[in-house]
Amino acid sequence: MSDESLPPDLQQMAADLNQAQQHFQQARTEWERQAAQLAEARDRLADMEERNRSLTLALETSRGQMAAERQRAQAHQERGDRLAHILQQLHRAVARGNVHQWILQACLSITQASRGLYLTADGPQGALRVRAAVEMDGYPDAAPSERILALCHPVLETGETSVFRHPTDLAGLPGPWRPSEEFPNCVAAPVVLMKKARGVILVAQKRDGTFDDDDVQTLLHIGDEAAAALENETLRRQLQDAYLATVRVLSDAMEVKDPYTQGHSDMVSRYADRIALHLGLSEYDRSIVSYAALLHDIGKIGVSDGVLNKPGPLLPEERALVRSHVRVGADLLRHVPVLDPVAEVVLHHHEWYDGSGYPDGLQGEDIPIGARIVSVVDAYSAMITRRSYKEPYPETRAREELRACARIQFDPRVVEAFLAVLDEPEDEEGEGGTGHDDRLRPLEALFQRHA
């Protein structure tokens, strides 16, 4: 049935209905489109939330890791700082000589261990000797027990560190000699000197927990540094001994050349040191004075015996030759760098306080104090000594000459100090003794300043 067959009002209703249906269809399509968009937006939002959650989680993990990392770095930094401080102290301890106890204390402190031993392998057999002990009954005086030997021998033989983290690790060792040897954990590290394990540092009974890899590394580090410091010290002592031997040879050569001066240099050196002590000079200056006094006439090696021992007055050229001994001597000593300040004193030991001496005509305080001291004692010694061309002066006359020449030839303060020293009993040298071989002060002070 066509619409034209319907009455007009029905036709209108049908048309309206049709239009309404079209609107409804459009609205539905639009609703479905929006619903789809909404669903898509929801999905995206869910994705974003998920990503956000993951990121937050990752961020928190990363924050935790960073905090842990920071803590570790700080712990390492603190450990590094302590280690650096300890190593700095170590080199000083080596110079002072009480190095074993010091190294052991440092190892215990940095590994938080309660007790320990420092042992060295001495002699051709490499017998172990306890050099330092902390909280270990009977040590360091006692010989190492079977248990300690069993802990240390493998370390010496292999050069490797032994770590015993738990009491069960120590079960196979001989029993403890004293209760203090019964510790729950320990580390035994080698001290390698000249490429050979020559000592063992044993640290035991960590205060908290047991020893970790950091402790082992730290011990090895300290062991290496200790070894390097000890090697340096050994070489330094050998070098000092070589220098001392050189000084002895020079001094002996001079006395062989001029038998009249036998004992003269020793005497000048001994008195010069006592004057330096009396005047309150530093250890360094006393060493300079002492060596300069011993070697002050070394330049006479280059002057012929005929001129040196000539009875009667010298010709001008002979006098010039004798005077050259100050420069010859100073040049000779300057070849040994550590004796350079000694050379300066040797150069000026014939300067006069009033400026009329040689070689540079220095005056008063411009003359090195060592040279002013040597000058006084040298003159006194020459006066009381018999020479081929003169009889010895009596001591009282020699003293009068010194007083008479104060302010002209000699520093009056040094003359007074010397006369006071002469009146002291011989054995009152106090710390002014001339060192381990009774002739020479140790070169220690000169070396320390030179380094």
Question: What six digits make up the tokens of 237?
Answer: 């002592």
CA-based R_g, the chain, Å? 45
Write out the binding residues for Fe ion, residues 254-313 only, by CB under 5 A.
297
Q: Quote the least distance from Cβ 109 to Fe ion, whole Å.
A: 55
- For Fe ion, the closer CB: 133 or 288: 288
- For Fe ion, the closer CB: 111 or 381: 381
Q: Quote the least distance from Cβ 251 to Fe ion, whole Å.
A: 14
- For Fe ion, the closer CB: 53 or 390: 390
Q: Quote the least distance from Cβ 136 to Fe ion, whole Å.
A: 58
- Preceding peptide of 140 cis, ω within 30°: yes
- Preceding peptide of 341 cis, ω within 30°: no
Q: Quote the least distance from Cβ 350 to Fe ion, whole Å.
A: 6
Q: Quote the least distance from Cβ 301 to Fe ion, whole Å.
A: 12
C-beta atoms surrounding 97 within 10 Å: 9
> Among the residues of 279-431, which ranges form H helices?
283-295, 305-308, 316-323, 325-334, 340-347, 369-383, 395-405, 412-423
To which H or E segment does residue 439 belong?
none
- For Fe ion, the closer CB: 225 or 297: 297
Q: How are strands ordered across the β-sheet holding 113-122?
A: 127-134, 113-122, 196-206, 186-193, 162-164
Q: Quote the least distance from Cβ 346 to Fe ion, whole Å.
A: 8
- For Fe ion, the closer CB: 233 or 318: 318
Window 27-66: contact mask with Fe ion (x via CB under 5 A): ----------------------------------------
- For Fe ion, the closer CB: 358 or 447: 358
Q: Is 137 left (phi over 0), alpha (psi -120 to 50) or beta?
A: beta
- What residues contact residue 156 under an 8 Å CB cut-off, 6+ apart? 121, 126, 128, 190, 197, 198, 200
Q: Quote the least distance from Cβ 378 to Fe ion, whole Å.
A: 6
Residues 113 and 203: beta-carbon distance below 8 Å: yes
How far is it, in rounded angstroms, from Cα 35 to Cα 51?
Answer: 24
In the bound complex, which residue of the shown chain has the CB atom lying closest to Fe ion?
297
- For Fe ion, the closer CB: 121 or 328: 328
Q: By CB neighbour count within 10 A (0-12 exposed, 13-18 middle, 19+ buried), where does 96 fall?
A: exposed
Residue 351 is a binding residue for Fe ion (CB under 5 A): no
Residues that bind Fe ion (CB under 5 A): 297
